[in-house]
Amino acid sequence: MNVIVLMIPMALILGAGFVGAFIWAAKKGQFDDLETPAHRILAEEPNERKPQ
């Protein structure tokens, strides 16, 4: 049963990793506008980026 001593911290770290990923995405503004991307995905071709 000693394996649990290893597994619990690992599970917690994994969970923390996902929470961290969510926080990162939220900070980047991924969830600011939940409606427009649904329209955008229907566009035919991606816009080419221009030099700055």
Rule CB under 8 A: which residues touch another protein? 4, 8, 11-12, 15-16, 18-19, 22-23, 26-27, 29, 31-33, 35-36, 39-40, 42-44, 47, 50-52
The least distance separating another protein from the CB of residue 6, rounded to whole angstroms, comes to 14
The least distance separating another protein from the CB of residue 43, rounded to whole angstroms, comes to 5
The least distance separating another protein from the CB of residue 32, rounded to whole angstroms, comes to 5
Rounded Cα distance, 47 and 41, in Å: 12
Is-contact 31 25, C-beta < 8 A? yes
